[in-house]
Amino acid sequence: MKALLVVDVQNDFCPGGALAVPEGDKVVPVINSLLDRFDLVVASKDWHPQETIHFQKWPVHCVQNTKGADFHPALRSEKIQKVFLKGTGNKDDGYSAYEATNENLEEYLKAKGVDELYVVGLATDYCVRASALDAVRKGFKTTVVKDAVAAVNVNPGDGDRALEELRQAGVTLVSSPDV
The reply to whether 46 sits near Zn ion by the rule CB under 5 A is yes
125 binds Zn ion (CB under 5 A): no
**Partner whose binding site includes residue 127, from ligand VGL, Zn ion, none (CB under 5 to 8 Å by kind):** ligand VGL
Task: Determine if 100 is a binding residue for ligand VGL (CB under 6 A).
Answer: no
Sign of the alpha-carbon torsion through 150, 151, 156, 161 = negative
Judged by beta carbon, residue 39 or residue 70, the one nearer ligand VGL is: 70
Q: Which does 123 bind (CB under 5 to 8 A by kind): ligand VGL, Zn ion, none?
A: ligand VGL
Distance separating alpha carbons of residues 36 and 137, to the nearest angstrom? 27
Q: From CA 2, how far away is CA 164, in angstroms rounded? A: 23
How many residues bind to ligand VGL according to rule CB under 6 A? 7
Q: Is the peptide bond before 123 cis (omega within 30 degrees of 0)?
A: yes
Closest to ligand VGL by CB, 39 vs 44, is 44
Pinpoint the alpha helices (H) of 35-114: 105-111
Taking a C-beta distance cutoff of 8 angstroms, is the pair 157, 164 a contact?
A: no
Active site residue 8: yes
Considering the candidates 25, 46, 86, 125, report the single residue annotated as catalytic.
Answer: 86
Q: How far apart are CA 12 and CA 178, in angstroms?
A: 29
Residue 26 C-beta: closest distance to ligand VGL, Å? 16
Annotated active-site positions, please?
8, 86, 127
Chain contacts with Zn ion (rule: CB under 5 A) = 46, 87
